Chains A and B, each alone.
Chain A
Amino acid sequence: MKRQRAAPIVSRAKGLAAEIRWLLSISLSAILLFPESSAPADVSQGAQIAATCASCHDPTGGGQAIPPIASLDEQAIVKAMLAFRASESPSHVMHAVALSLSDDELAATARYLADRASAGRQP
């Protein structure tokens, strides 16, 4: 799923080379403005939707009762959410959440959570 999605985005982006250079220079200068520990929070669509997850799932992954999601990879999240979407059991809470997300929103959220998890794992 990851690869299929990446291809069209890359080819569209090639046509926007100038904007990309411009965008990257802005992003880099934005990063340089802040010391790493206080980097501004991401406000992408994935990040905005993932903020909803934090109402129940401990973002540090230490949840006692509600399963942690902080260390899952992108495919595991998508797979789990599709299963939740298909059935009210085992969790009607997750069923409601999964039904409220379009495929694109789900992919963006899973990508954001997985990226954050892998960034967190790097030394």
Chain B
Amino acid sequence: MTDWTRRQIGGLAGGALLAVAAPHIVRGRGRAKVVVIGGGIGGATVARYLGDMKSIDVTLLEPNSTHVTCFFSNLYLAGLRSLASLSFGLETLAEDHGITIIRDSAVAIDSGGKAVELRGGTKLPYDRLVVAPGIAFKFGEIEGYDEAAAKIMPHAWIAGPQSELLRRQLESMEDGGVFVIAAPPNPFRCPPAPYERASLVAYYFKQFKPKSKILIVDAKDQFSGQELFQDAWSRHYPGMIEWLPSHFTGAIKAVDVAARSVVTEGETFRAAVTNFIPAQKAGLIGEKAGLTDASGWCPVDPVTFESTLQPGIHVVGDSIIGGDMPKSAFSANSQAKACAFAIAASLTGSPQFPPHLFNSCYTFLAPDDAFTNALTFAPEGGRIKTVKMFISKVGESAEVRRRTAHHAMGWYSAFTADVFGGGS
């Protein structure tokens, strides 16, 4: 008895009193409606956490029947994971978390009338809207690289058919071929991922096509985890991976898909296979709905993730800008939880506490050699600021790295259950 009483009384602390009363007011006039655009990492997480509160009616819009995770898709490219093992349906969100799933895209947002228009023509009313459409590519920015070119030089930066295309090309490449990775300018989805891709494709080449080479033609002069990658490349794949910074090549000016070449200021690189990762911006619905600023990304309040341009609309995940959080699945999931609790507070009066924003990514250098980083963030002056950052170190023992790679597997299963449902 005492335990139970203590728990109830504990609920009195802070500003919780008013908060507990409010849900009844909302229930009295029917459940508040939240529509979520995008059933990827950020959108699925918001939907799941809001759905579990039971006091809110949640509808999730996603045109694809399954989500293929970008994280671990570099393991697929190396032949170490199947694409099926990286694919998740949204059924569990519907069955166990009470969310209505609509297999359709949002084509317009009427922010005044608070409704979303679907491709199929339906208009869905909302009290709050969450927009989590991920990224879009700046096609046309580099001469010769458009959507058609991506069918020959895949980006494989949204996992699925693009990843399969790149894998097929790598499989049919002859030993001794050159694989070019064109790495994008900042900011872009998952800063260490182009270099993780180079590492894991090198692992594949080392076994099956050991005379092949990997050239990373970069739009930048430095990259995330650089020391850790360069150390690993010399240990695992000596002479196989060459990184060309922007100041060295003068950056990429054009691609010629017919000639299979990448043209920089000073040189033309001919490749057997090219993975061209274009510059990026917020998912297209962001721009269409007036949620983006001049940067092409969506500015948000760092506590509630409400757009600073369109009240009543929240944005989470890769589409946002306005702080130090990298564009990662972990960040999207962390932002989504803060956003869900903020929306619940505004619609049902539940208590709101300062958000804990976090990012931790596992990056593979080889199947049994991985590193992690861990960053904490806090809102400060309208932006998301890094508070602490830790990262694995060059020179760690093989045993530590093996353990980290093992942890990565555990993280993947727990994380995807958290996002797509499955756990309790």
In the assembled complex, how far is the CB of residue A15 from the closest CB belonging to chain B, in whole angstroms?
11
The 8 A CB mask of B133-147 against A (1 = contact, 0 = none) is: 000000000000000
Please tell me if the beta carbons of B8 and A52 are within 8 angstroms of each other in the complex. no
- In the complex, which residue of chain B has the Cβ closest to the Cβ of A38? B54
Interface size on B, residues (CB 8 A): 57
Please tell me if the beta carbons of A95 and B387 are within 8 angstroms of each other in the complex. no
Which residues between 324 and 348 of chain B lie within 8 Å of chain A, taking CB atoms? 330, 333-334, 337, 341, 344
- In the complex, which residue of chain B has the Cβ closest to the Cβ of A43? B350
Docked CA distance A115–B5 (Å):
13
Would A65 and B410 be within 8 Å (CB), given that A16-B12, A19-B17, A40-B55 are in contact? Answer: yes
Please tell me if the beta carbons of B410 and A99 are within 8 angstroms of each other in the complex. no
Contact of B372 among A26, A34, A92 (CB under 8 A): A92
Contacts of A92 in B (CB 8 A): 372, 374, 390-392
Q: What 3 pairs between A and B have smallest CB-CB spacing?
A: A65-B410, A92-B390, A96-B374
- In the complex, which residue of chain A has the Cβ closest to the Cβ of B24? A26
A97, CB-defined interface residue at 8 Å: yes
Contacts of A6 in B (CB 8 A): 6
Residues of B near any A CB (own CB < 8 A): 6-14, 16-17, 20-21, 23-24, 27, 49, 52-55, 98, 330, 333-334, 337, 341, 344, 350-351, 353, 356, 358, 360, 372, 374-376, 387-392, 406-411, 413-415, 417-418, 423-424
Please tell me if the beta carbons of B387 and A100 are within 8 angstroms of each other in the complex. yes
Residues of A near any B CB (own CB < 8 A): 6, 9-10, 12-13, 16, 19-20, 23-24, 26-27, 29-30, 33-34, 38-41, 43-45, 48-49, 51-52, 54-60, 63-66, 88, 92-93, 95-97, 99-101, 111, 115, 120
Please tell me if the beta carbons of A59 and B423 are within 8 angstroms of each other in the complex. yes
In the assembled complex, how far is the CB of residue A25 from the closest CB belonging to chain B, in whole angstroms?
11
Contact of A59 among B49, B333, B358, B424 (CB under 8 A): B424
Please tell me if the beta carbons of A100 and B358 are within 8 angstroms of each other in the complex. yes
Please tell me if the beta carbons of A23 and B409 are within 8 angstroms of each other in the complex. no
Docked CA distance A32–B16 (Å):
20
